[in-house]
């Protein structure tokens, strides 16, 4: 794992993208560089080890970052790492509150989620744990401006968004989110539903990471459906403008 992490860092600094995930990581950082300002308040939903949360702190040192991570040991590590500089919640966000089973992928916790999904490796070693569900709207104060939201919850992104409507409508944040066929399929959501939700409920437009960074045109509905169906892209940006 140490060798893998070192190799990943070397590729990053040399600007070499071996995998699509590395490309997305680089574009995510470039988007944060371009759009996050020093006083912005940013939310990381699905913190994992806190890489994006750390980048939010770097780019918005005068803002107040908030992170969500339901895996107990990762939450504990994040709480210790960001003590005094960020608020960390141990919840899985959704469109309602309560309790739920959560599939912890012991071999690769980044693939963990409320539901099982397709895994691109053998023997994922899944442990079922209980986690607390909450909505973003129930946790964010009505006078707290949210400027940027990143969502990576292995398929449950639409449920997170439905529980964040009031916050999004009030603040109009940029939303960078994962939405891939291998995970979202198991939550019973369709790209057409998600597109209509952004367009009709929130008044948002959708972009690929690359097109958003380059100030290109937004994605029409049929193109978004195609990108999802063909697994051509699985990270997107939603923006009011």
Q: What is the pLDDT of residues 31-54, one digit of tens each?
A: 999 999 999 999 999 999 999 999
CATH of domain 18-92+141-239: 3.40.50.150
Report, as an integer, the average pLDDT of 61-87. 97
Residue 11 has pLDDT above 70, yes or no: no
Q: What is the pLDDT of residues 147-178, one digit of tens each?
A: 999 999 999 999 999 999 999 999 999 999 99
Residue 58 has pLDDT above 60, yes or no: yes
What residues have CB less than 8 Å from 140, skipping those under 6 apart? Answer: 43, 66, 146, 167
CA angle at 214 for the pair 208 and 217, rounded to the nearest 5° = 60
Q: What is the pLDDT of residues 92-137, one digit of tens each?
A: 999 999 999 999 999 899 999 999 888 878 888 899 999 999 999 9
Residues listed for the chain: 241
Residue 14 has pLDDT above 80, yes or no: no
Q: Where does 82-134 have alpha helices with state H?
A: none
Q: What is the pLDDT of residues 48-57, one digit of tens each?
A: 999 999 999 9
Report, as an integer, the average pLDDT of 61-74. 98
pLDDT tier at 17, thresholds 50, 70, 90: very low
pLDDT tier at 24, thresholds 50, 70, 90: very high
Domain ranges of the chain: 18-92+141-239
What residues have CB less than 8 Å from 232, skipping those under 6 apart? Answer: 226
Quote the CA–CA distance of 88 and 165 in Å, as a whole number: 21
């Amino acid at each position: 794992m140490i060798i893998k992490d070192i190799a990943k860092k070397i590729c990053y600094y040399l600007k070499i993208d071996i995998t699509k995930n590395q490309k997305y990581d680089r574009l995510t950082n470039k988007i944060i560089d371009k759009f996050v300002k020093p006083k912005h308040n940013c939310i990381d939903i699905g913190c994992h080890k806190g890489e994006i949360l750390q980048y939010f702190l770097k780019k918005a040192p005068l803002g107040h970052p908030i992170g969500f991570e339901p895996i107990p040991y990762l939450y504990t590590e994040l709480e210790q790492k960001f003590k005094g500089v960020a608020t960390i919640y141990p919840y899985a966000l959704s469109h309602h509150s309560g309790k739920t089973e959560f599939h912890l992928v012991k071999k690769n916790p980044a693939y963990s989620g409320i539901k099982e999904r397709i895994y691109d490796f053998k023997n994922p070693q899944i442990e079922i744990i209980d986690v607390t569900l909450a909505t973003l709207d129930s946790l964010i104060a009505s006078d707290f401006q949210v400027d940027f939201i990143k969502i990576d919850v292995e398929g449950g992104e639409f449920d997170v968004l439905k529980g964040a409507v009031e916050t999004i409508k009030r603040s109009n944040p940029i939303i960078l989110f994962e939405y891939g066929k291998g995970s979202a399929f198991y939550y019973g959501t369709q790209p057409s539903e998600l597109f209509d939700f952004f367009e009709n409920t929130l008044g948002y437009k959708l972009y690929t990471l690359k097109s958003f960074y380059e100030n290109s045109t937004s994605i029409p509905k049929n193109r978004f459906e195609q990108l999802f169906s063909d697994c051509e892209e699985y990270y997107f940006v939603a923006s009011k403008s």
